[in-house]
Amino acid sequence: MKGYEELFSYFETNLKEQAFDNKPNELYAPIQYTLGLGGKRIRPVLTLMACELFGGQIEKALPQAIAIELFHNFTLIHDDIMDNAPLRRGKVTVFKKWDSNIAILSGDTLFALAYQYVQKADTNILPVTLNVFNKTAIQVCEGQQFDLNFETKNNLSVAQYIEMIKLKTAVLFGASLKIGALIGGAGAEDAQRLYDFGLNLGLGFQLKDDLLDTFGDERIFGKKTGSDIISNKKTYLYLKALEIADAETKNKLISFYNNSGYREEKFREVKAIFSRLKVDQLALKKIDGYCKIGKECLDKINLNDEKKEKLHAVAHRMIERDK
């Protein structure tokens, strides 16, 4: 089985060969711009890896891997509009570079293009492949709506947050693996086990993102930390802190998150509270728990351990990353 780097290179080369330069230019230039921003390409690589895991040829899964990446970038374009985010991967976001109307249309087009690619699966697995893709697309939108709802909701629980990130982030990891497995010839049970592996991997991935945004080393992380706290984003760290804090500390945290001022001081104070309550250590424990569950799901698949080791390596790469 090929490793992450080799599959990343294969996917990146083939993605660049796709024709996304139609007319009108205002519609397609943002698509080319977005895809050109790069990224880890984790989801499409997982699709290719899952296909190969079950003895399939990665060329067969390439269209669906592209579909996954196009869909992911569609969500990023629209998320940036909703979050009023000025930067994505260190570059100006599409709606800032053009405008919101163009960004919405370009995102919609990416969504349609994703369907063009996903439906290139063999006819014998096309219905189930489309079903996985459709269900996931709906779930991701549900997760995004929950995320928007949480901005104005104060009585949130850790469990509600986990459910939100499962829908917004984790299901796409699961779907990427499941679609690749089906193309590779996996049976229904093994494809679902791989989905469950990806789902838990995605949960750990998002929690690691939360952790890095507050506790990451900026020199390695590649961007300034603290954006979640400054923008009052109710992450696992914040919700867990509220859950275990005494009344005085809890009120202090709520007061900080109800105020958009004194940004640097706010970050320092809230981070200090998180450290004192050791919610960073609790987050790491939670991440380890998801990794353990994911590994158990992968281990249930009756395949050579050497084959599965490549997926274990990707999981380790995603969870142990510093950026």
Give me the pLDDT at residue 85, please. 87
Q: For residue 25, name the pLDDT band (cuts at 50, 70, 90).
A: very high
Torsions phi, psi for 279 (to 5 deg): -70, -20
At residue 317, does pLDDT exceed 90? no
Tell me the average pLDDT across 80-96. Answer: 91
Give me the pLDDT at residue 221, please. 59
What span, in angstroms and rounded, lies between the C-alpha atoms of 115 and 70?
Answer: 9
At residue 220, does pLDDT exceed 80? no
What span, in angstroms and rounded, lies between the C-alpha atoms of 134 and 71?
Answer: 11
Q: What is the mean pLDDT of the chain?
A: 94
Structural domains of the chain, ranges and CATH numbers in brackets: 4-319 (1.10.600.10)
Give me the pLDDT at residue 239, please. 98
Is the four-CA dihedral 218, 230, 276, 200 of positive or negative sign?
A: negative
Give me the pLDDT at residue 1, please. 84
Whole-model pTM? 0.95
pLDDT digits (tens, 9 = 90+) for 284-311: 999 999 999 999 999 999 998 888 999 9
Tell me the average pLDDT across 165-169. Answer: 98
Question: What tokens appear for 312 in the block?
Answer: 């274990």
At residue 224, does pLDDT exceed 80? no
Q: What angle do CA 287, 306, 47 make, to 5 degrees?
A: 60
Q: For residue 223, name the pLDDT band (cuts at 50, 70, 90).
A: low
Torsions phi, psi for 87 (to 5 deg): -130, 150
- Residues in CB range of 121: below 8 A, 6 or more apart: 63, 64, 129, 130, 182, 183
Is the four-CA dihedral 274, 275, 277, 282 of positive or negative sign?
A: positive
Tell me the average pLDDT across 156-162. Answer: 97
- Residues 90, 317, 299, 192: what is their CA dihedral angle, to the nearest 10 degrees? 10
pLDDT digits (tens, 9 = 90+) for 226-283: 889 998 999 999 999 999 999 999 999 999 998 876 678 899 999 999 999 999 999 9
